[in-house]
Homo-oligomer: A and B are copies of this chain.
């Protein structure tokens, strides 16, 4: 099943058991993937539903739903101080592969980048592509860039951590494995780190300061490391049970 090609469709393209394909999708299926009438592929609506579909001219017929579960068992929101240059493109791509639910790009005191409005479209396209490639069922939500203090107030979760690069803080993994997590929000800083004032504001908003290790990580790598740990802590029990089956 997983050898079949996958196509992301908008929910409104589905009418009864037919998928009305756009010209771009037809080009992709016919010219890029070289599918012909009668060939099968996987249609994904970006909201967790997958179907086995069969190409028929300018439409496709839904054959059956596919039961898959590639999503993390918990909601994870990353609040990421925008790295310089195009660094956030990489964060979007890799965080999507790792199962993030929502990404909140934020402007911190030491953020150099002032993103253009076109950036948001670009990030959302990257997230859609990465969700397809990593076989996710859901395309993560990418919010408009917000000032850090606004993001702190808006994205409250059951467990909230702010990654701080110097000083003696407990390791994020230690917090994750000692407390069962439901929804998690993790904030990671910009080049040069958070200011003292930002860390204090986050603590006042019930974010716990944590460490990602003794070395200094770049603003692009820090959110990926934090998410790797949250995802692994959430999945490890579940996968181990399956491995025993």
Contacts and interface: CB of A to CB of B under 8 A. Distances in A.
Interface stretch (A55-63, A119-127, A221-229): A221-229
A89 interface: no
Interface stretch (A15-23, A36-44, A129-137): A129-137
Interface in A200-245: 211-218, 221, 224-225, 228-229, 231-233, 235-237, 239-240, 242-243, 245
The 6 closest A-B pairs by CB, nearest first: A171-B236, A173-B232, A228-B228, A174-B236, A134-B215, A171-B239
Contact of A133 (B166, B177, B216, B242): B216
Given A97-B218, A173-B232, 15 more contacts: A97-B217, A98-B225, A99-B215, A168-B239, A168-B245, A171-B236, A171-B240, A173-B236, A174-B236, A177-B236, A212-B232, A213-B232, A224-B224, A224-B225, A228-B229
Given A211-B239, A245-B168, A98 B217 contact: yes
Given A97-B215, A135-B215, A171 B221 contact: no
Contacts of A173: 232-233, 236
A184 to B, nearest CB: 15
B214 A69 contact: yes
Interface of A: 2, 69-71, 94, 97-99, 133-136, 166, 168-174, 177, 211-218, 221, 224-225, 228-229, 231-233, 235-237, 239-240, 242-243, 245
Contacts of A217: 97-98, 134
Nearest to A209: B243
Contacts of A166: 2
A235 B221 contact: no
B98 A215 contact: yes
A103 to B, nearest CB: 16
